[in-house]
Structures are given as C-alpha cells and as structure tokens.
C-alpha cells in the first residue's frame, strides 16, 4: 500500500499555487470511498460528507480529476474505472467500519471502528503509535485491538476487551466480520466526523509503516 499512500500524498500537494489546501490525505481517501459507495455525488452532498466548504471541495475534485480518479457530469461527480480500481485496493485492506456507542472502553460520544486486515499490518506494537496518529486529527483517544480466538484483545497484550459489555463485542463481530489476526482500530471524539477522519488517518499511517510493499 506504500505506492497508493504516496498517490494520496501527491494529490494533496499544492499544484502551481501558493494557496494552502484545507484537506489532507485522510480527506482524499474518505472522498474516494464515498464515491465508491454511491454512483454520483453532488457537490453539496460532498461538502456535507467531508465537512468542507464549496471552494475546498472544488479544489479536491480538481486534484482527483488530474489523477483520472473522478469525472463530472450534470448528475454529479463519479469514480472512473481507474478510481474504482484505486478504491478497491483500500477496500481490500480496510473492508468495513462502524460506529459504537460510548462504553467503558470508549470515552467519546462517537467512536469509529475500522477493520484492518492482518495481511496489511506488521509490528503494530502496543497501540500507542496509533493513539498518537488519532490525536493528530482531534480524537480524544484510540484503541488498537487484535481479534484472537473469537475475542478482541489489546495489541501487544492478551487482556480481553468488552468482557462486561458483550453487546459491543457482538456488534463489532457482526458489522466488521473480523478474521483471526485482524486488527480493529477505534477512535473516539464527541464529534462524529472527527472520530471517523482520525480513524482513517490512523489506518493510513499504520498501513504506511507496514514492512511489505
């Protein structure tokens, strides 16, 4: 995924202008995944999805068009075949996500959980690096869990999570469909968008530290 992450970083590079961009790689990936889930997206809907102004959205779409990832017609903006192939590569690595209610393990009003397949992870450590990645984008906390023997355990540990809240565990299993060794990253915030964008940032930086190219 190193090459794909570099493409995201290139997309957010200023092109022929000194104007500072108000979006970054996690916003670009979220936009591509949004396009992948809908046939067409209007500019107004895009603004709402990304919590960005119309000018920033217009610039982002322009950058995506330069890479041949999207095109626009009267009905809205859509992914090209090249964009669909690019989105699929990330979908293979992070195929599912959900939101959890506040519980004893998650301290935010909104808690975004994203599944990261084991084949895209190495040297995950104790999760502190992931927590730092999440806080960079405004999250209040982050958990890095590994799915082992049908249980979620802390990364770098064997302590089981959600033992007192089995409904949270069942929600994660049902919605994320983890397999043995997969990683789940959960980021917390009182703002739903911040919880999600910080989770995406954490996933990207974790993918970027994976040893295999």
pLDDT tens-digit series, residues 75-131? 889 999 999 999 999 999 999 999 998 888 888 899 999 999 999 987 788 888 899
Q: Which residues pair with 76 in a beta bridge?
A: 73
Q: How confident is the model at residue 1, as a pLDDT?
A: 80
Contact 69, 36 (CB under 8 A): no
**CATH of 2-91 among 3.50.70.10, 3.40.50.1010, 1.10.10.10, 3.30.300.30:** 1.10.10.10
Q: What is the pLDDT of residue 105?
A: 83
pLDDT for 210 equals 60
The CA–CA distances, whole Å, from 80 to 44, 54, 70 equal 20, 22, 5
Low-confidence stretches of the chain (pLDDT < 50) are 18, 213
Identify the pLDDT of residue 202. 94
Domains of the chain, residue spans: 2-91, 94-208
Give the residues across from 199 on adjacent strands. Answer: none
The structural architecture, per CATH, of the domain 94-208 is 2-Layer Sandwich (3.30)
**pLDDT score at 213:** 43
């Amino acid at each position: 995924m190193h090459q794909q992450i570099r493409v995201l970083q290139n997309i957010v590079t200023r092109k022929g202008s000194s104007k500072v961009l108000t979006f970054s790689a996690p916003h670009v990936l979220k936009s591509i995944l949004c396009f992948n889930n809908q046939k067409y997206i209007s500019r107004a809907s895009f603004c709402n999805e990304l919590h960005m102004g119309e000018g920033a959205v217009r610039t982002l779409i322009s950058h995506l068009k330069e890479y041949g990832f999207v095109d626009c017609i009267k009905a809205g903006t859509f992914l090209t075949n090249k964009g669909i192939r690019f989105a699929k590569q990330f979908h293979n690595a992070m195929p599912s996500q959900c939101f959890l209610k506040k519980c004893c393990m998650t301290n935010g009003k909104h808690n975004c959980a994203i599944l990261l397949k084991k084949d895209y992870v190495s040297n995950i450590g104790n999760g502190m690096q992931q927590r730092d990645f999440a806080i960079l984008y405004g999250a209040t906390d982050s958990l890095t869990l590994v799915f082992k023997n049908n249980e979620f355990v802390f990364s770098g540990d064997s302590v089981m999570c959600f033992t007192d809240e089995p409904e949270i565990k069942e929600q994660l299993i049902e919605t994320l469909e983890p397999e043995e060794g997969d990683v789940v990253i959960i980021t917390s915030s009182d703002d739903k968008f911040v919880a999600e964008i910080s989770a995406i940032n954490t996933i990207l930086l974790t993918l970027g530290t994976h040893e295999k190219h």
